[in-house]
Amino acid sequence: AMAKAVQRVFAQQGLPDAYIKGDEGSGAVVVGLRYGQGWLVRKHAEAAKVYWQGPSVGFDFGANASKAFILVYNLGNSDRLFQKFPGVEGSYYFVAGIGVNYLRANNITLAPMRTGVGLRAGVNAGYLTFTRNATVNPF
């Protein structure tokens, strides 16, 4: 399933400039929160620790823990990652599942792919904010 998701993103977006490999947890009862941490990996640069968090709102219920693999397009300077990326997401996890969506801001495209466990179903709109340091503030 993950290989097909990667192939689909490559067919639509091409090869990425970078990727983020990490872990995240999220939960929602109409209003949701997501927190994650991982490593930004670039071809000619040292891996950098990154964190992400964000709120969401929608018809969305449940909780899940995921391995996150985020393809990054048109990044340029790594500092450009540290901003808000809005998006819409649909997910359905019953014990295990995979989800892919696109987030875009300032000509940068992120393609988060998540494989996770939990019980989660719904559609939501929200954003992710990427930071250099961990924070509990999702805004």
Supply the pLDDT for residue 28: 93
Range of the domain at 69: 2-131
What is the number of structural domains in the chain?
1
Answer whether residue 36 is part of any domain: yes
Looking at residue 96, what DSSP letter applies? E
Q: How confident is the model at residue 73 (pLDDT cuts 50, 70, 90)?
A: very high
- CA–CA dist 12, 134 (Å, integer): 32
Asked whether the predicted pLDDT for residue 131 surpasses 70, the reply is yes
Burial class from Cβ neighbours inside 10 Å (0-12, 13-18, 19+) for residue 102 reads middle
Confidence of residue 95 (pLDDT cuts 50, 70, 90): low
Strands 48-73 and 18-42: antiparallel
In a domain, 120, yes or no: yes
Residue with token string 């689909």: 8
Domain assignment present for residue 136? The answer is no
| Within a domain: 51 | yes
15: domain CATH number is 2.40.128
- Residue 93 — very low, low, confident or very high, per pLDDT cuts 50/70/90? low
Q: Is 139 a member of any domain?
A: no
- Kindly report, residue by residue over 19-51, the tens digit of the pLDDT: 999 999 999 999 999 999 999 999 999 999 999
Paired tokens of 57: 């709102």
Q: What is the DSSP string of 104-134?
A: EETTEEEEEEEEEEEEEEEEEEEEEEEESS-
The pLDDT of residue 97 is 62
Residue 52 buriedness (CB in 10 A; 0-12 / 13-18 / 19+): buried
Could you tell me if residue 138 is inside a domain? no
Q: Side chain identity at 126, as an amino acid letter?
A: G
Tens digit of pLDDT for each residue in 43-72? 999 999 999 999 999 988 889 899 999 999
**Is 59 within the bounds of a domain?**
yes
Residue 116: pLDDT band (50, 70, 90) is confident
Q: Given pLDDT bands bounded at 50, 70 and 90, which one contains residue 128?
A: very high
